[in-house]
Amino acid sequence: MYSSLSQFKSYLWIPSSDTSKDDQLTMILNWACATINKICGVDSFDEWTYEEEIDARKIYINSFWYNIFLKNKPVSSINEINGENYSGVKGSDYMVSQQRRVIFKKFDSINDFWFVNINYTSWYNRNNQWVDELPDDLKMLEMMVACWLLPDNLKEEYHVWISSYKLWDEQIVFGAKSSANTQSSEDMYFSFSYLIDKYKNFNLAI
């Protein structure tokens, strides 16, 4: 889960002393979390290490700097290259631009097959009890999706009948019907705008 049970109960105006629906609400939060992960194409937004094989022919060289685009973001560190520990210092030997673009000052790790295996750490650190790097809009998004997933009896009990949510220029519409001309099949479940689009994962080809 990205938001806590206590946060979700507060969002629904449920007193913390009322634990009668805790198990059911936790299940719905987990369901909402899985739904967001599936739409975004990620296993989790929690910090983790990933291994990615890069076609060296797609390494973009500009003014002797080597540019590699990785799938998961934001990239926080490069750990290994081709199975060997990488000791380069971020900000000195390499830098991260636009969260997923890694720019190396020097790169001599291309093997005979012209592929490079990069082991790196990305997404958001949640292990420190004093710091949670997960953006608040992802936590809010999970709670809004969970509200839409509530069974009708709980929606009525908690006075939750959400069809849409708008914050400045960002808007989410729940349960929007799909249109062959304007929406894709995943919109049979939800129609999201920029709020969810900015977290969607993809493979970047040059």
pLDDT band of 129, cuts 50, 70, 90: low
Q: How far apart are CA 88 and CA 157, in angstroms?
A: 56
- Global pTM? 0.70
8's tokens: 């979700």
Phi, psi angle pair for 187, to nearest 5°: -75, -5
**Amino acid of residue 47:** E
Segment 175-186 mean pLDDT: 46
Structure-token match 């040059």, residue found? 206
Task: Give the residue extent of every domain in the chain.
Answer: 5-44+134-197, 48-122
- Predicted pLDDT at 28: 95
